[in-house]
Amino acid sequence: MDLSIIIATRNRARSLAKAIDSITKLNISFDQIEIFVADNGSSDSTPVVCQMYANIFPHFKYIFDPRPGQLIGWHRALFESNGEILAFIDDDVRPTPGWAKCVLESFESPEIGIATGRIIPEFEQRPPSWQNNMVLENNLGIWSALWGMLDFGTEIKEIPVDFVWGSNFLIRRQVMLDAGGFHPGSMPRELFHFTGDGDVGVGRIIAEAGLKALYHPGAAVAHELPAVRNSGTDEVQRWIFGEGLATSYVLMRRLATAYSTLTATDLIDLVADTISSTEIANIGRGYLNADTNLPDELEHLFRTCGSNGFRLHQEYFKKDALFRDWVLQPNYLDLDACYTHPDLQAI
């Protein structure tokens, strides 16, 4: 088996069907690929969609596990996969016909541990003009973390690992296992504080191991963005709040590593000396162009949502010993050992 394609999903059957239908159009033999759909507790027609496509693909596996968080599906599929290369994609993306062959081509050099390709946003409705301020540019190309957009041009090139995202996350299976798997990713709203740095965390571990990240423009996916996601500020608030949670998550893990003799609660005393209030307030502003001028309401949103997420995560870390255990797990490969918090077991 050359390539394992893994899609985590929950209650988005129509979007999932479009994603899998695009896989039927790949210019690669179905015998070279296997598909895993990891259902995170759907109550819609997701199982029906999967049964339909299981009749098309010779290697198709449906995994149902209602425990909360993308982490469940990611790691369940990781251990059941047979491909040397793994492709983790979201249920709202559609790989282009040449995607699979370019994915495999990306790993011809043993120096490459992780890769991605173009991520092309497809808007159901034009987003508000102020969101254009969240399209950033560097010497490689342009991207928008909010839209999940990535365009680093038409040439194959090495890139920083921070630009390999979950909507088009390509990795060697053994490299993923050696890195300890994913950190916590998306969580339901009521458990949002259990979010971590997900896919980006894996990339940073891989970079520390000396492996490289590659951008292959042919390994491209289209990313559907529904109107409800871009019609107001709700999605932006949610996203920046999540960045605040992730910032606190990464900080506490780094402090725990640097000060291994301290108790978890003592680590809190080091936070104020490690990150300034200005840095916390700028968590959201860091994803805007430097010269952006926003209306007061939006400016307030960018200045407060990230810090609110950061502070909420800190509060849980202070008061909840089992939450501290969750944040400071060495890795999350053993799901049963990680999912001990009562809030994560309530189904």
Q: Are 219 and 117 in contact (CB under 8 A)?
A: yes
pLDDT tens for each residue of 271-300: 999 999 999 999 988 888 888 888 888 888
CA distance 197 to 243: 8
pLDDT at position 206 is 96
CA distance 92 to 221: 10
Instruction: Indicate the pairing of strand 85-90 with strand 157-159.
Output: unpaired
Instruction: Indicate the pairing of strand 212-215 with strand 157-159.
Output: antiparallel
Q: Are 256 and 267 in contact (CB under 8 A)?
A: yes
CA distance 167 to 343: 27
pLDDT at position 229 is 65
pLDDT tens for each residue of 82-120: 999 999 999 999 999 999 999 999 999 999 999 999 999
- What is the number of alpha carbons within 13 Å of residue 249 lying toward its C-beta? 26
Q: What b-and-e string marks burial along 30-45, b requiring 16 or more CB atoms within 10 Å of the CB?
A: eeebbbbbbbbbbeee
Residue 319 is encoded by which pair of tokens? 């008061």
pLDDT tens for each residue of 43-54: 999 999 999 999
Mean pLDDT, 10 residues at a time, the chain of 347 residues: 95 96 97 97 96 97 95 96 97 97 98 98 89 92 93 97 94 97 92 95 95 98 83 82 96 96 91 94 86 84 92 96 96 96 85
Instruction: Give me the CATH topology for the region 3-230.
Output: Spore Coat Polysaccharide Biosynthesis Protein SpsA; Chain A (3.90.550)
Task: For 179-198, give the secondary structure using H, E and C.
Answer: CCCCCCCCCCHHHHHHCCCH
Q: Are 23 and 95 in contact (CB under 8 A)?
A: yes
CA distance 193 to 183: 13
pLDDT at position 302 is 84
- Continuous segment of H or E residues that includes residue 39: strand 33-39
Q: Are 65 and 77 in contact (CB under 8 A)?
A: no
Parts of the chain belonging to CATH 3.90.550.10:
3-230
pLDDT at position 346 is 66
